[in-house]
Structure 1
Amino acid sequence: MRSSALPPAVARYGSVLVAVLTLAFVTAGAAPTLAVTAERVTLSPTADPSTSQTVTWRASDDYTPVLEVTAAADADPILRVEGQRTGSTAGVHYRATVRGLAPDTAYRYRVGDADGGAFGDWRTFTTAAADPDPFRFLYFGDVQNDITAGAAPTVRAALADAPDAEVAVHSGDLVDRAEDDRQWSEWYDAFGPAATGGVNQVAAPGNHEYSGRNLSGHWPLQFPGAGNGPDDEALDGTVYHTDHQGVRFVVLNSNYAYAPGGDRDGWLRSQARWLRGVLEDNPQRWTVVTFHHPVFSNAPGRDNGPLRDTWLDVFEDYDVDLVLQGHDHSYGRGNLVANRTGDPDVQTGPVYVVAVTGPKMYRVDDSVWVDNGAEARVQRGQTQTYQIVSVDGTRLDYVAKTREGEVVDSFTITRDERGKRVTDTLGR
């Protein structure tokens, strides 16, 4: 794992920093001015997080936004980046991207008003290494319902279990009602400012991020994506890829039911064409794809045949390592039967996972898997989980756990001179 100029807890999460940045200043001899509050400070990945970083935030007032960034060991700002006003939802949203950073380096940053000179406390992030150094990332299924009481304990267990995680992957349905600002506040509170403001959030929209047929107004303001998706305005900010230390993370938008003009097939095919290009020109050893609706659902009546018809061959042709999904409010993990080997504990090819982090649950059934040439190696209903994935050279280790620490699933993927193999490790 990387070293840092700061203590690990500060360099990675900045856990000593408060949840809300209060930006205020005092004029000599005068009473304090009205405070400007910055909240929902979020790290969003660029295409190359080793040299650049996007920050989004919301403030109570409309001001001239600026992002200041300094190497963690320095006292004075070394970079001052002009931000932009991106919209409003019960406050004004801003975004700024800093470029020209050094890889594998701890930075401090703060946001504020360029005209008034008011800034908040410093937060921290660390750029990705330029090489495929070992790291860990977290994967969360639907948070969605009863966020504060039902989902937050699982989220916090994950953050405590992997305090060094460098990426957080979300497979959609972060909230239940797309435009409910209170629910978005609960989601941010569940993760806390140290996580959302210290770890890159790789998020795919679920069906509950849509209101009617329209993507939530909150989504692009909070999760703008890396800006390298298909040339399709309807997919802006919801389809992209980012590379992190040997892993290519790819986000897709599986909400074909909301395709403009009802063009479901066009919506899916345009992403499939783009995805083939992204995977064809992939210099990374590992590939992780995330979206919301499963290609193999965990219960009958929830099947997503159009996704399977359009995307499955792409995943298999390019041997994607992990396909991380949500939507079914249960846990499932499996593979195509064609990818079995002579060893019952070993498979080849992509691994398909469905998970849920929040307390809303559905029953499980493997009929959709079986009827479509696949097998569910692990299924579990009525179980909230979080997932930790550790990447180290030729080896990727995956574990799914409950908030109480029970291991629900685990496996290892190895890519070396002998080829690729996926080995079940649950109970070993």
Structure 2
Amino acid sequence: MLKNTCFLLLGLALYTQGIKAQDNKPFIAPPYLQIGYQPAPGSMELLWHSADSSAAWDVELKTAGTTSWKKAARPEATRVAVANIGTHFVYRTLVAGLPAGNDFDYRVLKNKKVVFTATGKAPKEKDQSFRFVAFGDIGAGTPSAKALALRAYEAKPDLVVVPGDIVYERGLISEYRTNFWPVYNADAANTEGAPLMRSIPFVAAMGNHDGDTRDLNSYPDALAYYAFWDQPLNGLQAAEGSAVVPFIKATPENKKAFETAAGKAYPVMSNFSFNYGNIHWTFIDSDTYVDWTDSALLKWVANDLQSAKDATWKIVVFHHPGFSSSRDHFEQQQMRLLSPILEAGQVDVVLNGHVHNYQRSFPMHFAPEKKGTLLVGGKDNKTIRGRVVPGKWTLDHNFDGHTQTKPQGIIYLVTGAGGQELYNEDQQEDTDSWQKFTYKFISSIHSFTVADVNGGKLTFRQISEEGKELDTFTITK
């Protein structure tokens, strides 16, 4: 009798696992939420990846206070058929009519059968408090990256902000499948990751590991950023070979396959802006191939910030920090050239990655000396390595973020300790190695940023992968 019971339980377990495996088969990447090409408090985009193009897909919604499911817009498919990766499709649909800031249930049906269910959170409106988390250099697939994903999930944010280096090493489709989706859109919250993206949107800036690989003959599945993210298309319109967009190296076949997969996102989605809650967000491609002396690009940033007159807060996000005390990447100061424009646009905080640690500056003003010095190297002596930009800074030493909470100048945060190998651990205690603009430098542990937005009060906390608070400060208006 005991033996038969054991066989019965074993059979039941295998049957249950079989159902779970079968239910997961429809997706290469399970459904995830995005703010969309045209963000609005009452709508979002839902995306998923599947190898199946013949199925009839549907999405249904149920908002708070309702009992019936309502069908969303018909999903559209974008074909991804680049070399070295099996042909698959990125499905996307508009999820609209959402009560701002409230939870909603959704389910995905394949051939009228429910294959996925989750609860999402609609974007917040201007008068609603919210929480966002930020961490860069995340898609490394390391134990620390996975631990931080779980910590971020436990923080219960409404939005996740990634200041570049979304996935390592080359921004490939194959790397998303191993280092990104399983960690940030996992089926369960545990030491392997968390089900973040199916419930809340991530927004991401282009990092060097996302955009530097432009040789599609050697890496045909590179630049996956443009195929997998639905973010605003209101950036500067620019052509390949311009000051904004480098040329892609590809055969006609590889180029066409990439352009089909990227659709209308390439190349305009490199820079974009949107409003979430009472914050105006500006996301910028800061890579070394971008010429930040270009007047058209500088004008786009200035006009974007000037247009956000109704926002309580302005936050700018890009990958390469202009102000960092780290020895690594110290020469890549090209983004200092934007300081006068950011200050004129009344930016409050700048979020960066690239340097794999945490740094907070004093509130500061910076006046660059002309355009600095362009650094060129590489085997061909043509590869741009960065730009050294000297200048004069004015620091607000009175601001402490506790008793004095009205900063005079911009606060620059480097939050690049999101999972990749840490930089310059020895500098944490070596305060003599810090630049004068650096207030806090934590490089011995991986961490992420948690920010609570409540009207004219904005509170930041830096949390380690072990859950310890490493830094905190508040800004008020």
TM bucket, shorter chain? 0.7 to 0.9
1:353 aligns with 2:449: no
1:76 counterpart residue number: 68
1:171 aligns with 2:168: no
1:296 counterpart residue number: 323
Q: Which amino acid aligns with 1:57?
A: W
1:93 aligns with 2:90: yes
Q: How far apart are the structure 2 equivalents of 1:182 and 1:48?
A: 27
1:189 counterpart residue number: 182
1:313 counterpart residue number: 340
Q: 1:102 aligns with which of 76, 94, 99?
A: 99
Q: After alignment, is 91-100 or 383-392 more displaced? A: 91-100
Q: What's the secondary structure of 1:338's corresponding residue?
A: strand
Q: Which amino acid aligns with 2:207?
A: G
Give 5+ residue unaligned stretches, structure 1.
1-19, 25-34, 416-428
1:385 aligns with 2:447: yes
2:149 counterpart residue number: 155
1:273 aligns with 2:299: yes
Q: Which amino acid aligns with 2:92?
A: R
1:130 counterpart residue number: 125
Q: What's the secondary structure of 1:256's corresponding residue?
A: coil
1:230 aligns with 2:236: yes
1:249 counterpart residue number: 281
Q: Which amino acid aligns with 2:182?
A: D
Compute the displacement of 1:38 (Å): 5.7
Question: Do the aligned partners of residues 343 and 42 (structure 1) sit closer, same or farther apart at CA in structure 2, a change above 3 Å counting?
Answer: closer
1:120 aligns with 2:115: yes
Compute the displacement of 1:187 (Å): 1.8
Give 5+ residue unaligned stretches, structure 2.
1-19, 187-194, 216-220, 240-244, 246-266, 365-392
Deviations, residues 73-120 of structure 1 (Å, cap 9, x unaligned)? 43433242122222325432122223444323332223344xx33442
Q: How far apart are the structure 2 equivalents of 1:299 and 1:189?
A: 31
Question: Do the aligned partners of residues 124 and 238 (structure 1) sit closer, same or farther apart at CA in structure 2, a change above 3 Å counting?
Answer: farther
Q: How far apart are the structure 1 equivalents of 2:91 and 2:431?
A: 45
Q: Which amino acid aligns with 2:147?
A: P
Q: How far apart are the structure 1 equivalents of 2:455 and 2:209?
A: 37
1:141 aligns with 2:136: yes
2:42 counterpart residue number: 51
The number of aligned residues is 371
**So what's the TM-score if we normalise by structure 2?**
0.70
| Aligned partners of 1:52 and 1:127 also within 8 Å | yes
Q: What's the secondary structure of 1:181's corresponding residue?
A: helix
Q: Which amino acid aligns with 1:106?
A: D
1:370-381 superposed matches below 5 A: 370=435, 375-381=437-443
Q: What's the secondary structure of 2:441's corresponding residue?
A: strand
| Aligned partners of 1:299 and 1:366 also within 8 Å | no
Q: How far apart are the structure 2 equivalents of 1:124 and 1:21?
A: 21
2:242 counterpart residue number: none
Q: How far apart are the structure 2 equivalents of 1:229 and 1:36?
A: 34
Compute the displacement of 1:53 (Å): 0.6
| Aligned partners of 1:43 and 1:53 also within 8 Å | yes
1:221 aligns with 2:238: no
**Where in structure 1 do 4 or more consecutive aligned residues deviate above 6 Å?**
365-369
1:37 aligns with 2:27: yes
Q: How far apart are the structure 2 equivalents of 1:413 and 1:343?
A: 9
Q: How far apart are the structure 2 equivalents of 1:49 and 1:127?
A: 9
1:340 aligns with 2:331: no
Q: Which amino acid aligns with 2:63?
A: A
Q: What's the secondary structure of 2:270's corresponding residue?
A: coil
1:409 aligns with 2:402: no
Q: How far apart are the structure 2 equivalents of 1:358 and 1:68?
A: 35
| Aligned partners of 1:295 and 1:303 also within 8 Å | no
Q: What's the secondary structure of 2:300's corresponding residue?
A: helix
| Aligned partners of 1:174 and 1:206 also within 8 Å | yes
Compute the displacement of 1:414 (Å): 0.5
Question: Do the aligned partners of residues 253 and 279 (structure 1) sit closer, same or farther apart at CA in structure 2, a change above 3 Å counting?
Answer: same
Q: What's the secondary structure of 1:237's corresponding residue?
A: helix
Q: Which amino acid aligns with 1:154?
A: L
Question: Do the aligned partners of residues 67 and 367 (structure 1) sit closer, same or farther apart at CA in structure 2, a change above 3 Å counting?
Answer: farther
Q: What's the secondary structure of 1:411's corresponding residue?
A: strand
Deviations, residues 319-356 of structure 1 (Å, cap 9, x unaligned)? 21221110011211103252415566654221101121
Q: Which amino acid aligns with 1:111?
A: V
Q: How far apart are the structure 2 equivalents of 1:265 and 1:289?
A: 15
1:203 counterpart residue number: 204
Q: What's the secondary structure of 1:254's corresponding residue?
A: coil
Compute the displacement of 1:195 (Å): 0.9
Q: How far apart are the structure 2 equivalents of 1:248 and 1:380?
A: 28
Compute the displacement of 1:250 (Å): 1.9
Q: Which amino acid aligns with 1:389?
A: A
Compute the displacement of 1:131 (Å): 3.3
Q: Which amino acid aligns with 1:82?
A: R
Compute the displacement of 1:298 (Å): 3.1
Q: What's the secondary structure of 2:196's corresponding residue?
A: helix
Give the alignment's Cα RMSD to 1 decimal: 2.8
Deviations, residues 194-232 of structure 1 (Å, cap 9, x unaligned)? 311111111112111135236934212221212222223
Q: Which amino acid aligns with 1:238?
A: S
Question: Do the aligned partners of residues 354 and 104 (structure 1) sit closer, same or farther apart at CA in structure 2, a change above 3 Å counting?
Answer: closer
Deviations, residues 133-171 of structure 1 (Å, cap 9, x unaligned)? 1111101121243x14231112212221x12x1000011
